[in-house]
Chains A and B, each alone.
Chain A
Amino acid sequence: MYQTIHENVEMAGVYTQAKFVPKKFKWKNRVYLVQEITLVAEVKDGNVKKRFFSLLSSGEVYRLIFDRENEKWWLEEKWVD
């Protein structure tokens, strides 16, 4: 099941073909390399747009959200077996 985390993280990636592609993120002083982006979706809360990413890093699945309003990255959830 997904465990709620909801903490800010730092994200690094590349812009390619007008899209941002996450490459690695830093959470609690540890760097997580992105193996695969498994899902990307645009979600809205009212007019607040957020970009949802599901990422695979070292075999673990993380759900991240980029808040386009205040340009912050949030690690929302992590899959726990």
Chain B
Amino acid sequence: MSTIVHVDINSYFATVMQQENPKLRGKPVGVIKDVGRTCIIAASKEAKLRGVKTGSRLQDIKYLVPDLILIPAAFDLYLDLTKKLKKIFTSLSPNVDVFSLDEAFIDISDCHQLYPDSVAFGKLIQDQIKKVLGEWVTCNVGISYTRLLAKLAGEISPKGSISIIDENNKDLYLASAGFESICGIGYRLSKKLKLRGITNAYQLNFFEYQDLQSLVGPFWAKELLEIAQGRDSSTLRQVEQRRDQEMKSVGRTITGFRLTDDEEVIKQTIYNLCEEAAHKVRQMDMAGRQVSILLTGEDQVWYQHKTLKYFIHHTDEMFQILYEGFYQNWQRNFKVIKFGVFLGQLQKMNQVPIRILDDWEKKEKIYQALDQINDRYGLFTLRPATLTKAKLIRPEVTGFLGDKRFHGL
């Protein structure tokens, strides 16, 4: 039987800030994306105990926690520390999957002789993390025979604990956890199930496939019956499948500080995001042929996409399609706060048909030279006229770590 260990750093973003700065330890800390932002993206244990959650708005919690200390996130630090975490894990087992910036699955099924005692292994992990990242950094360790159960074990256990789910206590855990603790079941599905009186995964064992199918459709009916038995959801089955897969798409989104009607700002932002996304694709020696753009207002959304007959990875080409092709042909009727660009259906350059009928080769040489300079001295060292006077949006790492392959994780 497999032994899967799930490691989840407690309140990662905030804990790292507290490890760095002893004056913040033991205090309610709320991490915001940047100075001036008003949404909490992570809260320390102390802040969580007082009701601060990820996604809390400052205006809603300032009266609840008036002594909340706000700190801008330090994504560069988190990424490097996650790389250090991975190094710890891979020194203990060859089968490691970094699931997000602060979570990883470690499969020690083939290491029973090295680690006969799973709890001792969990303690070893916790000690190593403290040694490398700092004394203030704690983690939950969940151990079981599937990823779903290992993650669940850590999710609903006290902070800093080591918990095991086996065949004997599996049903108890599945019965006592809400769907928000089950990886693979989202808010909408959970709401639908609750309307039918189903509030935990264990209850699903008392339903037939046909009953669930009429409620949630054939895919989810099958999924839910798997989850009811503690088996991995499709999200978690893909963890191992994706281990050696190349990235399929690259995207970059940004939420502005305020709604904007300024055409110059909109143009600059779209170009900035195209440069970051296209640069990333070029760095991976890939090209894509599905381009998309997303703009969001207060409660309006505009989205366009196109699948090309050829592959692209030059910024100006991507910008031309998205801005000149889509945006300029749209009668914008709302102010924009969120921007997103995406380049998908990525393939390695050696698998992409060569373009010989246009000036692609010439442009490729220019971009190679540009990328050499920007890689050496930093992105946007050389930048187009469009961005000369713009406030640059620099690359950042997301907690979800959708581009973990790009970062070597």
Chain A residues at the B interface, C-beta cutoff of 8 Å: 1-2, 36, 38-39, 41-48, 52, 54, 56, 61, 79, 81
Query: B324 within 8 Å of A by Cβ?
Result: no
Residues of A within 8 A of B19 (CB): 38-39
Given A46-B376, A54-B20, A61-B20, verify A39-B381 contact (CB < 8 Å): no
Query: Which of A42, A45, A54 contacts B21, CB < 8 Å?
Result: A54
Query: B219 within 8 Å of A by Cβ?
Result: no
Query: B76 within 8 Å of A by Cβ?
Result: yes
Q: Interface of chain A, helix or strand or loop or mixed?
A: strand
A38-B21, A39-B16 given. 6 additional CB < 8 A pairs?
Answer: A39-B134, A41-B81, A45-B379, A46-B379, A48-B377, A61-B20
A-B contact count (CB 8 A): 53
B21 touches A46 (CB 8 A): no
Query: B188 within 8 Å of A by Cβ?
Result: no
Number of interface residues of B (CB under 8 A): 21
**0/1 string, B373-387, CB within 8 A of A gives 1:** 011111101000000
Chain A nearest CB from B35 CB (Å) reads 8
Query: B401 within 8 Å of A by Cβ?
Result: no
With A and B bound together, what is the CA distance between A41 and B377 in angstroms?
19
With A and B bound together, what is the CA distance between A52 and B72 in angstroms?
16
Residues of A within 8 A of B21 (CB): 38, 54, 61, 79
Query: B66 within 8 Å of A by Cβ?
Result: no
Sample 25 A-B pairs with CB under 8 A, ordered by A number. Answer: A1-B70, A1-B71, A2-B72, A36-B22, A38-B19, A38-B20, A38-B22, A38-B134, A39-B19, A41-B76, A41-B77, A43-B77, A43-B80, A44-B76, A46-B376, A46-B377, A46-B379, A46-B381, A47-B375, A47-B377, A48-B377, A48-B378, A54-B20, A56-B22, A61-B20
With A and B bound together, what is the CA distance between A52 and B68 in angstroms?
26
Chain B nearest CB from A78 CB (Å) reads 11
With A and B bound together, what is the CA distance between A52 and B77 in angstroms?
8
Residues of A within 8 A of B72 (CB): 2
**0/1 string, B47-88, CB within 8 A of A gives 1:** 000000000000000000000001110001100110000000
Chain B residues at the A interface, C-beta cutoff of 8 Å: 16, 19-23, 70-72, 76-77, 80-81, 134, 374-379, 381
Instruction: Give the residue among B20, B22, B72, B77 with the most A Cβ atoms within 10 A.
Output: B20
With A and B bound together, what is the CA distance between A63 and B270 in angstroms?
33
With A and B bound together, what is the CA distance between A50 and B378 in angstroms?
12
B77 touches A61 (CB 8 A): no
Residues of A within 8 A of B76 (CB): 41, 43-44, 52
Instruction: Give the residue among A1, A2, A38, A46 with the most B Cβ atoms within 10 A.
Output: A46
A81 touches B23 (CB 8 A): yes
Residue of chain A at shortest CB distance from B76: A43
With A and B bound together, what is the CA distance between A39 and B18 in angstroms?
10
Chain B nearest CB from A18 CB (Å) reads 15
With A and B bound together, what is the CA distance between A79 and B376 in angstroms?
31
Residue of chain A at shortest CB distance from B132: A40
With A and B bound together, what is the CA distance between A41 and B80 in angstroms?
6
